[in-house]
Amino acid sequence: MRFSIIAALVAGLLWSPTAKADPSDAVVKKVNGHIASAWKANQVSPAQRADDAEFMRRVYLDLIGRIPPVKEVRDFLDNTDPNKRSKLIDDLLFGKPDETGKRNGSAGYVAHFGNIWRREWLPQSMSNPQFQFFGPQFESWMRKQLQNNTPYDRIVRDIVTAQPFGAQGQTPDTQALSAFLFVNENKPENVAASVSRMFLGVKIECAQCHDHPFETWTRNQFWEFASFFAGLQPTGMARRLPAEAVEIRSLTIPDLNKKVSAKFLDGKEPLFQDRVSSRVTLMDWMSAKGNPYFARNAVNRMWAYFFGAGLIDPLDEPGEQNPPSHPQLLEDLSQAFTASGYDLKFLIRVIVSSDAYQLSSADPKASASTERNFARMRVRGLTPEQLFDSLVSATYYRDMQMPNQRQFVAPNSARGEFLAKFSTTERLSDVQTSILQALTLMNGKLVSDLTSTDVRRSELLAGVLDTPFFNTEQKIETLYLAVVTRKPTPDELRRLTGYVDKGGATGDSRKALADVFWALLNSSEFAFNH
């Protein structure tokens, strides 16, 4: 029913009960049309379409946070079904169908996007030891919402209207939700700045101490917006207050001794109701169909996640100085997302099914104009979680301290130590590898074990080395499929086969094959999403 409504509202079509097309397909066509029109208008030639191997690796990393295993790579590359990419997207988003055709959800999608949203909305849990406690709690709560495909507006509503940490009657879920307020110290100005930036895409905190230097936001507007959170108490005081504190809806602007009352960013006065929280009233305005910020910000941030840059970029500085690169695309996609009932999977499926997403990152004609018009895929760094989980997938590594690789772990586990070294809050399209990180991949114990010829330390390599059915070329091909999700080029295969057969630097063909494995794991092709 929801998708039928989407199709009617967005595409102007009425789908028959027997129609087999996914309703998101109509929105994909609109997206493709806007992108193609921009290419033509700006005289930009797009890159070639990504081949199956490049696409498969990219969509696995983006949707479930790791590269695919060898068998699935072989099956996909050998599959001649013209719709295999769409089917793969659905498998990763919704889970593979069982014998009856029912899909029971994708654990990989739930785990990966739980981490992605925690990084987006709770960055302090990664960078500040004082707030690390909240990271696993919030991520666990977020996974539940993703498992149930809870609408995006409901997720944000629960966060914005949460009880402060320490309030009476809290459950584990409400305590997890209070993390957003806690990391912002329950200060109205801090919470307002984060809500405005993360959920509306407006960096209004630049007007906290003076009128915005480049946009029209005023100091009054900042404190009027902050007044929706005036009833919050500074961190450390919440435990001493009842959950039903008296509602306060005004603040005094520091240094001016001027009192202002809560007002929406569009300048409209809120119509407060008795016994209805100011934050509930704010959220009603934020998620209303006509709100010019909420859906657009969600679409823009999701687009930036998949492309390495938003349609508005920087993400939280919209305005005359920073207009959308594709305004009608952003508008249509925002309307479609709203019409879907704020369905995140719907939005994701549209984006990764688009022509722009399926372009190659390799383009000798690439320029700044090419990237701004999404005429090729940007190369993006991996999150620490993506990198570690891809190491696990490529090598069949098993950490005895952590039976489930995707769950939260103790800091002294292999995963915990790896994530601590590779932790970053940088934008993934700008991420740089530090010397310590490079040395960890080159000489660290984990990678040394994974590329050892000792069968007890490297399960995949040992299996490839000892199989009696593969010749040298087949062994090298298997390592390529496992690590970089493609077959070696004829030239790579010729050179590496000669190297292995001659025994490399030591005259030992087994160690030479381990050298090939080590080189692949340390390659840029493995460490980046492209």
151 and 92, same structural domain?
no
197 and 82, same structural domain?
no
Q: Which domain holds residue 149?
A: 109-286
265 and 314, same structural domain?
no
Among 65-69, 130-134, 253-257, 289-293, the least confident range: 130-134
The residues, any chain, with a CB within 8 Å of residue 298's CB and separated by 6 or more, are 152, 199, 337, 342, 347
Q: Domain boundary residue among 325, 344, 378?
A: 378
237 and 189, same structural domain?
yes
Q: How many domains does the chain have?
A: 3
314: preceding bond cis by omega (within 30 degrees): yes
- The kind and range of the H/E element at 460 are helix 459-466
- Across the chain, what does the average pLDDT equal? 85
- Name which of 455, 333, 437 is nearest 381 in CA terms: 437
CA distances from 99 to 92, 94, 102, 330 (A): 17, 15, 7, 39
Give yes or no for residue 11 having a pLDDT over 60: no
179 and 77, same structural domain?
no
Instruction: List helix spans (H) across 128-239.
Output: 134-147, 152-160, 172-177, 179-183, 188-200, 219-226
- pLDDT category, 18, cuts 50, 70, 90? very low
Give yes or no for residue 499 having a pLDDT over 70: yes
264 and 230, same structural domain?
yes
pLDDT at 270: 95
* Rounded mean pLDDT, 191-202: 95
What percent of the chain is predicted at pLDDT more than 90? 56
pLDDT at 240: 44
- Supply φ then ψ for residue 388, to 5 degrees: -65, -45
475 and 443, same structural domain?
yes
The residues, any chain, with a CB within 8 Å of residue 314's CB and separated by 6 or more, are 322
* Rounded mean pLDDT, 86-107: 92
Q: Domain boundary residue among 311, 346, 378?
A: 378
* Rounded mean pLDDT, 337-346: 97
Q: Strand 250-253 vs strand 528-529: parallel, antiparallel, or unpaired?
A: unpaired
Among 26-35, 318-327, 332-341, 426-435, the least confident range: 426-435
pLDDT at 214: 64
pLDDT at 205: 83
The dihedral formed by the CA atoms of 341, 345, 346 and 350, expressed in degrees to the nearest 10: 150
Give yes or no for residue 511 having a pLDDT over 60: yes
Query: Tens of pLDDT along 444-470?
Result: 777 777 777 765 667 788 888 888 889
Q: How far is it, in rounded angstroms, from Cα 32 to Cα 359? A: 12
- pLDDT category, 327, cuts 50, 70, 90? very high
pLDDT at 239: 45
Tokens of 374: 């999404």
Helix (H, G, I), strand (E, B) or coil at 82: coil
pLDDT at 430: 58
* Rounded mean pLDDT, 57-78: 97
pLDDT at 1: 39
What percent of the chain is predicted at pLDDT more than 70? 84
Give yes or no for residue 411 having a pLDDT over 80: no
Q: Domain boundary residue among 253, 271, 286?
A: 286
369 and 410, same structural domain?
no
Q: How far is it, in rounded angstroms, from Cα 432 to Cα 382? A: 10
446 and 467, same structural domain?
yes
Give yes or no for residue 141 having a pLDDT over 90: yes
CA distances from 199 to 121, 192, 194, 230 (A): 9, 10, 8, 19
* Nearest-10 crossing angle of helices 52-64, 107-121: 60
pLDDT at 191: 95
Helix (H, G, I), strand (E, B) or coil at 346: helix
76 and 47, same structural domain?
yes
484 and 365, same structural domain?
no
212 and 250, same structural domain?
yes
